[in-house]
Amino acid sequence: MALVVLAGAVAGGVVLHQRGALNDFLCGGDCGDRYVSEPEALRAPGPADQTVSAVPPASADATAVARAVESASGQPILGPHVGVSVRELDGDELLMTSPDAFIPASTTKLLTGYAALTTLDPQERFRTTTVLDGDRLVLVGGGDPYLMATPADRGFAARADLATLADRTAQALVEQGVTQVRLDYDDTLFTGPADNPTWEPSYASQNQVSPITALWVDRGRIDQRRVEDPSGSAAGIFAAQLVERGIAVGEVQPGQAPVDAAPVAQVEGPTVAQAVERMAVTSDNGAAEVIARQVALGSGAEPSFEGATSSIVAALESGGIDTSGLVLRDGSGLSRQNRIAPSTLTSVVAAAELAAPQLTGDLPVAGFTGTLVERFVGLAGRGLARVKTGALNQVHSLAGTVTTADGVVLTVAVMVDQADVALALDARAAVDAVVASLAACSCAA
């Protein structure tokens, strides 16, 4: 009986792990692809498979692709405005059902990720530092999207925390004979408004995104709720941590670090590549906006919403991507004023295969990871699609890659922005079904 109970518990644990239900316990949030058993359909051949010599077909038949998509994309639940684009990995477009640009929601993050990985050094790390100017200690934000308050808070992709910086800072100050400081905090790396004027006012109350600054901890939240002043909140936490370590802290206020201030300590956050991975897997809005501003800095533009979006567009155009109809107001996709054509999304994915191949590997796996853990249930696309999700009221979109039944890898984008609000889950499932129709298709040329 004991063995039966144990076997049942193990089997149940495996199922829960595959569904992502243990992520909070194991990883403090979504665990990312590296912690999930690889779907059989995506697993590379092992030694036992070496006798199979068949090479997967490299191209698809456009007629077969159109037939598969037509059978799924005409569902009334999707509404009157539906766009689908399908491309070969080499960039040749096999199908475009609409040239229109749609409200993209979070598929916008594909553009932000592509721009970050092609504009910035993917291995560069975000740094948060302290410097000393007389008796004035300055906490300088480096635009780390995943800086945490304590090591215990660290999740996937979070590598730096204020408590560790306080340890290093206090030790360095004591070695210099300094035990009392005033504390300034410098978040001037970014400019422009912290809240996007095109965002819905409800985003604040719904906890969708915190004000975007170059200095925050825990993604601008305390107890998972956004704060009005992320920079000041981070400085207050840091001041308390210094006091705990024997450093008396006087007035805490905003201020800019002098260029000749003496370095005291620093912590290094994730690499650009790690931050993009986390953003893509979890569809992290705040991180997307911080990364977009880093793209602006890397491009020599003003690190504001406007500078970030213009830099993203410039990166796409440098990569030879058609930006017809493209309108960007942010890097996350929260703005309903954004417009992206399905063809642009598939172009970004195809271009990334050469210029930033990590990007497609970062995307959630249908039915297994990130924002797709509970989707594609019972559909052919489960384990065969890596796609970025997007959702706002009436808006549902997917964009990424899908492997057909006969092994052709295609880039796909499905976009709707006039779906019935009252039937949102049904509309979302219908979008999934379009991608699944390609996974079930014998589309080889």
- CA 245 to chain centroid, in Å, comes to 35
As a whole number, mean pLDDT of residues 410-419 equals 97
pLDDT at residue 16, rounded to an integer: 46
CA pair distance 338, 319, nearest whole angstrom:
20
Q: Residues of the chain with pLDDT > 70: what percent?
A: 86
pLDDT band at 14 (very low <50, low <70, confident <90, very high): very low
**Residue among 153, 146, 400, 184 nearest 274 (CA):** 146
**Residue among 144, 236, 115 nearest 183 (CA):** 236
pLDDT band at 403 (very low <50, low <70, confident <90, very high): very high
Is residue 283 part of the annotated active site? The answer reads yes
pLDDT at residue 174, rounded to an integer: 97
Is residue 106 part of the annotated active site? The answer reads yes
| Of 73, 85, 233, 283, catalytic | 283
Mean pLDDT of the chain: 89
- Is it the case that residue 177 has pLDDT exceeding 90? yes
Tokens describing residue 363: 């995307």
CA pair distance 111, 105, nearest whole angstrom:
12
Give me the residues paired with residue 292 across strands: none
pLDDT at residue 57, rounded to an integer: 63
CA pair distance 99, 105, nearest whole angstrom:
18
- Is it the case that residue 258 has pLDDT exceeding 70? yes
pLDDT tens, position by position, 280-324: 999 999 999 999 999 999 999 999 999 999 999 999 999 999 999
- Is it the case that residue 192 has pLDDT exceeding 80? yes
Give this prediction's pTM.
Answer: 0.87
pLDDT band at 78 (very low <50, low <70, confident <90, very high): very high
Superfamily per CATH, domain 125-276? D-Ala-D-Ala carboxypeptidase C, peptidase S13 (3.50.80.20)
* Domain 62-104+339-439, CATH class in plain words: alpha beta
- Is it the case that residue 76 has pLDDT exceeding 90? yes
pLDDT at residue 210, rounded to an integer: 93
- Least confident residue range of 54-63, 105-114, 390-399: 54-63
Phi and psi dihedrals of 385, rounded to 5?
Answer: -120, 135
Q: How many CB atoms sit inside 10 A of residue 133's CB?
A: 15
pLDDT tens, position by position, 361-373: 999 999 999 999 9
Phi and psi dihedrals of 221, rounded to 5?
Answer: -130, 155
| Of 85, 109, 299, 304, catalytic | 109
- Is it the case that residue 155 has pLDDT exceeding 80? no
| Of 85, 106, 233, 332, catalytic | 106
- Is it the case that residue 3 has pLDDT exceeding 90? no
Q: Residues of the chain with pLDDT > 90: what percent?
A: 80
User: Domain ranges in the chain?
Assistant: 62-104+339-439, 125-276
pLDDT at residue 56, rounded to an integer: 56
pLDDT at residue 43, rounded to an integer: 43
Phi and psi dihedrals of 145, rounded to 5?
Answer: -70, -15
**Residue among 42, 19, 43 nearest 31 (CA):** 19
- Least confident residue range of 16-30, 45-59, 207-221, 257-271: 16-30
- Is it the case that residue 41 has pLDDT exceeding 60? no
As a whole number, mean pLDDT of residues 376-390 equals 95
| Category of 322 on φ-ψ map: left (φ > 0), alpha (ψ -120 to 50) or beta | beta
**Any long-range contacts for 378-381 (C-beta under 8 Å, 24+ apart)?**
379/432, 379/433, 379/436, 379/439, 380/405, 380/436, 380/437, 380/439, 380/440, 381/432, 381/435, 381/436, 381/438, 381/439, 381/440
- Least confident residue range of 113-117, 207-211, 374-378: 207-211
Q: Over the chain, what HEC string results?
A: CHHHHHHHHHHHHHHHHHHCCCHHHHHCCCCCHHHCCCCHHHCCCCHHHCCCCCCCCCCECHHHHHHHHHHHHCCHHHCCCEEEEEEECCCCEEEECCCCCECCHHHHHHHHHHHHHHHCCCCCEEEEEEEEECCEEEEECCCCCCCECCHHHCCCCCCCEHHHHHHHHHHHHHHCCCCEEEEEEECCCCCCCCCCCCCCCHHHHCCCCCCCCCCCCHHHEECCEECCCHHHHHHHHHHHHHHHCCCEEEEEEECCCCCCCEEEEEEEEEEHHHHHHHHHHHCCHHHHHHHHHHHHHHHCCCCCHHHHHHHHHHHHHHCCCCCCCCECCCCCCCCCCCEECHHHHHHHHHHHHHHCCHHHHHCCECCCCHHHCCCCCCCCCCCCEEEEEEEECCEEEEEEEEECCCCCEEEEEEEECCCCHHHHHHHHHHHHHHHHHHHCCCCEC
CA pair distance 81, 342, nearest whole angstrom:
12
Give me the residues paired with residue 137 across strands: 132, 183
pLDDT tens, position by position, 197-247: 999 988 876 778 899 999 999 999 988 889 999 999 999 999 999 999 999
Residues belonging to the chain: 445
- Is it the case that residue 21 has pLDDT exceeding 60? no
CA pair distance 90, 222, nearest whole angstrom:
45
